[in-house]
Chain A
Amino acid sequence: MVCGGGLAAWMTVATLARHLPDTVRVTLAEIDSDHRCADLFYGTVSGPGSYAFNLAAGVTEPALVLGSSAAFSWGSKYVHWAEGGRSWIQCFNLALPVIDGVLMHQYLVQQGMTRLDPFLLGAVAGSRGTFAHPPRSPGAAGQQPLARAEYGYHFDPASHARCFAAAVPPGRIHHLKGALTRVAVGDGAITGIALDGADMVTADLYLDCSGPSAELLSRLDPAWLGGRALQISADDVAEARLGPPVRSVSFHDKGWAAQTPLRGSTRSLTVSDATASCNARGGLSASATLGRRQRAWAGNCVGIGHAAGIVEPLTPAPMMLLERDIERLMTLIPVSTASMTVEEREYNRRHGEDHHHAMRFTRALLETSALPDSDFWRAARDTPDAELEHKLAMFAERGLLVSYDLEPFHPEDWLIMHFGIGRRPRRHDRLADRADAKRVRRYLDDAAQQVANAAAALPSNHVYMTQLERYLRQDPRK
């Protein structure tokens, strides 16, 4: 039984409906609540993993384009965020080339080159406002600069959720609706729920998708390993033209704001302390405490998304974590109702690690002197993390990327952030010195030129999307 509503519930239901055999009865108990508000904490941008995740849940990209306000995203531009007040685009990219056994960025350090973005198609195209799908063929097309780029989506959680709802095969799920009036608990497990005071409904496994209130899971595990309390609000401004394929994030003393081009509108998201006065001009708003539940899986109940953990939507981390929650659940769908201890232990181990890693990446974004020394930012930085310190120190020392098991953000994400923010390694890998410096320089200049040429040849995001939409509307099965 999936209990809740909004994005987490529909993404979960669509995936279950697609992957579980028909013999498993799936019930959605959609409880009355304005999920649109709390769902704002999922942010507005997803990572490159979304394409495959969506497809596995039955949401093809054409269905997403035709059924929601989603737009393509090369990543996020952090405005005046870097050292010296510079900006950079935190784009998605496949691993950078390894040249003679040495990672490409070591040659940049050796050459005294301080910018990585000229080598990243997503960054260059993002700043020009252009887009096209990266080719994924193994042949010559696969060698183009565009093929090294990756993309995610800009999304509105409510519109996104509708796509997943539409992907559920008719008749596959049992759908209940109403106000949650009772959650029965016994012996460390949920024993049933009631909607609108009706009879109890029961299940073998309860998936709590009720958002930060965690209506079910909080009864079994009330401990919230908490952080800061934040308020988020969103306003949409109608737009005739689709904006650039990049979300723009800027800071102020009391928080930060993001402008995300969607199809038909631009969403303004503002994040501040929960105590700050709400600036939403008739839009949506919500507040929540960042952190995670000690046990995302307790007994026969699993918290998916915000019911188990909330990360500040400064990066695509919230959506990545939600997708990982569902993927993790799918690999651990219980095999027996008698005992789920193996599943619970493994799920919680991985949930904890994923959450830590995502927090760490978000936290690393704050290691810049450009951010104000205000209460909001001081509190945001007030989370010591020895592994993050080690990562930053190893990069600062010699440009080495330290990785741990199965991090949601990849080494190239870290590299793009380090360079973007203006972190300069003290020295480069000595192995880079074997190559002829002039040849290296020529290689790098050529590579940057190829990226610039490729980006210049792309159509504007608006034109590309308009043509794609027109093409899909002719035959949506494409």
Chain B
Amino acid sequence: MAAAALAAKLAGLPIAITLVESDEIGTVGVGEATLPHIRAFNLALGIDEAEMMRATEATYKLGIEFCDWGRRGDRYIHPFGDFGPTTNDVPFYQYWLKLRQSGDRSRIDEYSYPVIAAEQGRFRRPSGDLDAVESTFGYAYQFDAGLYAKFLRSFAEKRGVSRTEGRVVRVVQDGETGFVRDVVLTNGTTISADLFIDCSGFRGLLIETALQSGYDDWSAWLPCNRAIAVPTQSNGALRPFTRATARTAGWQWRIPLQHRVGNGHVYCSSFISDDEAHDQLVAGLDAPMQAEPRRLSFTTGRRREFWKKNVVAIGLAGGFLEPLESTSINLIQDGITELLAVFPDKGFGARDIAEYNRRIGLHYERIRDFLLLHYVATQRDDSEMWRHFRNLRLPDSLSERIDAWRTRGHLIQYEFGLFLSPSWVAVFLGQNLVPDRHDPRVESMSIDALTARASDVRAKVDAAVRRTPEHTAFIRESGGAARLAVAGA
């Protein structure tokens, strides 16, 4: 992603880009699900959606389904969209809280077009008519990250990126400044550069091994440290959403692509053995495995400095947050976007670096809080892990947010961060954290007027979803189908 984006954005400038990549090193395979921001990334690169979808076996994505999080048996979808319209400056969910208190049993989901469309396996792109219910959502993709990397590699090479096959075996630093001067590859080739972007994954070959940036370990808050990933055969119609099912010591993902389903189990080794984790994963699969499971381990947290001297760590080299909300690829994108925003000159200004680190640090911190919310906004206490979270001291930023929500459904606002208010609402309500009271301003609307209004919103959502094509059919019609060897599709 970094090579492709820099190739596109720096095209025409006297800047040569070299990509050092080794076929010996596989990609992690975690994070095949994306967030709507990926569309802006592709658009900025001039990537054709249908072509990208065919090349990566992609499906469309309207949100993430969370199963068994609030309580066993519960499920909700965190959609890429809002719930109902804001009225008199008060968000719709506040009115819904009043409805609920008056005995109305409608689900908040019924006021969200993307939730209902996802539940029914339907998809269309958002309408440009801002008055239409069909304009109230965004969408992303579920794709094969390995194929996406190949697609972008070819994109980058066509735009002049020179790719060198090989593994970095030595990093040469300037004796005086400590800046990285060269990297030496297995075959003895030396590659020099002014700026190095470290996309070497967890170990952070340049940022950590060479420059010793340091790591803020967040496993006290997010203790999951292992994952097992396994593909299975496609099974039934393609769902336009990713699923994350809570387990006793972590959670399991299911990401439907055109040619297979990506699955995995993220867990904490303090609460479950690797073998048990494997068994839980396999027991939770809904189709035969296509390959042997692959194992990964990681430590949640972030580099103290994402950018140090002339090295910028992007993606897993910069930090790791479990992909519960599909943030891994998004964090790569953020790293690239912010790097382009403060792209350095050869002087490597300290302020540029500080600003980059400030911006990315804020993204990490706010995503961390949002992920942690899933573990603590729960009634589960049926295993050691869930009991661990019950007794956890939360970061102040999160506990104040939960407090404000629980007391009155108030959402503490921020401007810079990935997950904005509707996402917090989805998880809070989806995991049964219903506020004690609602905003007093909603009392200005009578219960009869509110009931009629709510029924109207539901009817509009329902009618709009009925008009929406079936997901698989939409992929075919929009030219995104690679082969779609899907039964019944």
- Using CB atoms and an 8 Å cutoff, list the residues of chain A in contact with chain B: 19-21, 23-24, 56, 101, 330-336, 342-343, 345-346, 390, 393-394, 397-398, 400, 402-406, 427, 429-431, 433-434
Please measure, in the bound complex, the distance between the C-alpha atom of A430 and the C-alpha atom of B413, giving whole angstroms. Answer: 34
In the complex, what distance in Å separates the CA atom of A343 from the CA atom of B439? Answer: 12
Decide yes or no: A19 and B13 within 8 Å by CB, A342-B410, A397-B349, A406-B413 being known contacts.
no
Q: Which residues 335-394 of B sit at the A interface, judged by CB distance below 8 A?
A: 340-343, 345, 349, 351-352, 354-355
B residues 393-438 in Cβ contact with A at 8 Å: 400, 403-404, 407-408, 410, 412-416, 436-438
Contact (Cβ within 8 A) A21 B44? no
> B355 contacts A402, CB within 8 Å?
yes
Flag whether B10 is at the interface (Cβ < 8 A). yes
Q: Mark B317-342, 1 if CB is under 8 A from A, else 0.
A: 00000000000000000000000111
Question: B467 to nearest A CB, angstroms?
Answer: 23
A398 to B351 alpha-carbon distance, docked (Å) = 10
Which A residue sits closest to B130, measured CB to CB? A138
Q: Is the CB of B13 within 8 A of A430?
A: yes
| B5-23 near A? 1/0 per residue, CB < 8 Å | 0000111110100000000
Residues of A within 8 A of B177 (CB): none
B187 at the binding interface (Cβ < 8 Å): no
Question: Contact between A390 and B355 (Cβ–Cβ < 8 Å)?
Answer: yes
In Å, the complex CA distance between A430 and B346 comes to 12
16 A-B residue pairs with Cβ-Cβ distance under 8 Å, sorted by A, are A19-B89, A20-B440, A101-B340, A334-B440, A335-B408, A335-B438, A335-B439, A343-B408, A346-B412, A393-B351, A397-B352, A404-B416, A430-B10, A430-B343, A431-B10, A433-B13
CB pair A335–B407 under 8 Å, yes or no, is yes
Chain B: minimal CB distance from A423 (Å):
15
Q: A346-B412, A405-B416, A430-B13 are in contact. Are A19 and B439 (CB under 8 A)?
A: no
Least CB separation from B408: chain A residue: A335
Specify the chain B residue showing the minimal Cβ separation from A400.
Answer: B342
Which of chain A's residues have a CB closer than 8 A to the CB of B436?
335
Q: Are B355 and A345 within 8 A (Cβ)? A: no
B88 at the interface (CB under 8 A from A): yes
- Give B292-312 as 1s and 0s: 1 = Cβ < 8 Å from A's Cβ atoms: 000000000000000000000
Which residues of the other chain, A, contact B15 by a CB distance below 8 angstroms? 430
The reply to whether B415 and A406 contact each other, CB–CB distance below 8 Å, is: yes
Tell me whether A430 and B345 are in contact (CB under 8 A). Answer: yes
Q: In the assembled complex, how far is the CB of residue A324 from the closest CB belonging to chain B, in whole angstroms?
A: 12
- List the interface of chain B (C-beta within 8 A of A): 9-13, 15, 44, 88-89, 340-343, 345, 349, 351-352, 354-355, 400, 403-404, 407-408, 410, 412-416, 436-441, 443-444
Establish whether residues A330 and B341, one from each chain, have CB atoms under 8 Å apart when the complex forms.
no
Q: Given the complex, which residues of B lie within 8 Å of A393, measured CB to CB?
A: 351
Across the interface, do B410 and A332 meet the contact criterion of CB distance under 8 Å?
yes
- C-alpha gap A394/B408 in the complex (Å): 40
B50 to chain A, nearest CB (A): 23
CB atoms of A431 and B340 under 8 A apart: yes
Q: Are A342 and B443 touching (Cβ within 8 A)?
A: no
| A400–B341 touching, CB < 8 Å | yes
- The A/B interface has a contact count, at CB < 8 Å, of 91
Report Cα–Cα, A24/B443, bound state, in Å. Answer: 10
**In the complex with contacts A19-B88, A20-B441, A430-B343, A331-B9 CB distance below 8 A:** no
A434/B349 contact (C-beta < 8 A), A342-B410, A400-B342 known: no
Among residues of A, the one whose C-beta sits closest to the C-beta of B349 is A397
Expressed in whole angstroms, the Cα–Cα distance for A434 and B439 within the complex equals 51
Q: Which residues of A contact B340 (CB under 8 A)?
A: 101, 431
Query: Chain A residues near B10 (CB, 8 Å)?
Result: 430-431, 434
Q: Which residues of B contact A398 (CB under 8 A)?
A: 342, 349, 352
CA distance A37 to B416 in the complex (A): 40
Assuming A429-B343, A431-B343, A433-B13, is B355 touching A394 (CB within 8 A)?
yes
Pick from B11, B403, B414: contact of A406, CB below 8 A. Answer: B414
In the complex, the answer to whether A330 meets B416 with C-beta atoms within 8 Å is no
Given contacts A19-B89, A346-B400, A394-B352, 15 further A-B contacts (CB under 8 A): A20-B440, A21-B443, A56-B89, A330-B441, A334-B440, A335-B440, A342-B403, A345-B400, A346-B410, A393-B351, A400-B341, A430-B15, A430-B343, A431-B10, A434-B13
Report chain A residues within 8 Å CB of B439.
331, 333, 335
Bound CA span A400–B339, Å: 12
Chain B, residue nearest A101 (CB): B44
Contact present for B355 and A400 (CB under 8 Å): yes
Q: How many angstroms between the C-alpha atoms of A292 and B437 in the bound complex?
A: 31
Query: Closest Cβ of chain B: how far from A272's Cβ, in Å?
Result: 37
Report whether B44 and A336 are in contact in the complex, using a CB–CB cutoff of 8 Å: no
Residues of B within 8 A of A21 (CB): 440-441, 443-444
Q: What is the chain A residue whose CB lies nearest that of B437?
A: A335
Tell whether A101 pairs with B9 under 8 Å between CB atoms, given A342-B408, A346-B404. yes
CA distance A403 to B44 in the complex (A): 23
Which chain B residue lies CB-closest to A327?
B89
Contacts of B352 in A (CB 8 A): 394, 397-398
Chain B residue numbers with a CB within 8 Å of A390 are 351, 354-355
Query: With the chains together, A244 CA to B340 CA distance in Å?
Result: 42
Roughly how many angstroms separate A260 CA and B443 CA in the complex, as a whole number?
42
Rounded to whole angstroms, the CA-CA distance of A401 and B270 in the bound complex is: 45
Find out whether the CB atom of B444 lies under 8 angstroms from the CB atom of A342.
no
Q: Which residue of A lies closest to B14 (CB)?
A: A433
In the complex, what distance in Å separates the CA atom of A403 from the CA atom of B412? 18
| Nearest-Cβ distance from residue A130 to partner chain B, whole angstroms | 32
A434 to B436, CA, bound (A): 56
> How many angstroms between the C-alpha atoms of A405 and B363 in the bound complex?
12
Looking across the interface, which residue of chain A has its beta carbon closest to that of B128?
A138
Q: A433–B15 Cα gap in the complex (Å)?
A: 12
* Identity of the chain A residue whose Cβ is nearest the Cβ of B354 in the assembled complex: A390
Chain B residue at smallest Cβ distance from A407: B415
**Interchain CA distance A434-B159 in the complex, whole Å:** 14
Nearest 9 pairs of A and B residues by beta carbon: A21-B443, A335-B437, A434-B12, A342-B407, A405-B415, A335-B408, A21-B444, A405-B414, A333-B440
How long is the Cα–Cα vector from A334 to B88 in the complex, in angstroms? 18
Say whether B89 contacts A433, CB under 8 Å.
no
Residue from the list A342, A343, A397, A434 in contact with B351, Cβ < 8 A? A397
Chain B residues whose C-beta falls within 8 Å of the C-beta of A434 in the assembled complex: 10-13
CA distance in complex: A331, B340 (Å): 37
Q: What CA separation (Å) do A332 and B410 show in the bound complex?
A: 8
A226 to chain B, nearest CB (A): 28
Contacts of B408 in A (CB 8 A): 335, 342-343
B410 touches A331 (CB 8 A): yes
Closest chain A CB from B379 CB (angstroms): 22
